[in-house]
Amino acid sequence: MAQIDIKECVIRAFDGTLGTITIDSVPSDSDLILTAVSKHIGSDRISIELLDPASSSASLGITVDGRKITINLATDGTSAITSTAAEVKAIIDGDSDAAALVTVALETAGTGVVEAEAEGWLAGQKGLAIKIGEGNLTYDEHRPI
């Protein structure tokens, strides 16, 4: 017989499904599919946001804060968004922090201009969180027959 002393903790288990999100922009040829890299980190807690900087001649940029990926879209001299799906994919693929969280696929060639998108979270992964208070876990060791 064995005993484990437990102090308050949370145990999380996931089903092995990789979370995904599809960013559907209205222009054709501009859809992106993001898929979690790891099935172990709780991919439902990874988010992405495509921001319109609302300024002229802005450059395409990326920031990653924990599990939140923010894409600052490029604009032209009239403040119109100019970033294509292929460019957004390239900036995510080229950022080591973002690439550690997600992979990006294009539904087509990716030449269409994307739209600003509010923050959205990857979904599809099922998980279980077990909260354990203080106590002891006692068990018998069983060997395979």
Would you list the domain boundaries of the chain? 18-125
Q: How far apart are CA 25 and CA 89, in angstroms?
A: 14
Q: What is the pLDDT of residue 72?
A: 98
pLDDT at 38: 84
Contact status, residue 134 vs residue 15, Cβ threshold 8 Å? no
Compute how many other C-beta atoms are within 10 angstroms of the C-beta atom of residue 14: 19
Alpha-helical segments (H) within the chain = 85-93, 96-99
Per the prediction, the chain carries an average pLDDT of 86
> What are residue 113's DSSP bridge partners?
84
* pLDDT band for position 4 (cuts 50, 70, 90): low
Does residue 21 carry a pLDDT above 80?
yes
Distance CA 78, CA 76 (A): 5
DSSP state of 75: B
Q: What integer is the mean pLDDT of 103-117?
A: 94
Per-residue model confidence (pLDDT) at position 20: 86
Local confidence band at 40 (pLDDT 50, 70, 90 cut-offs): low
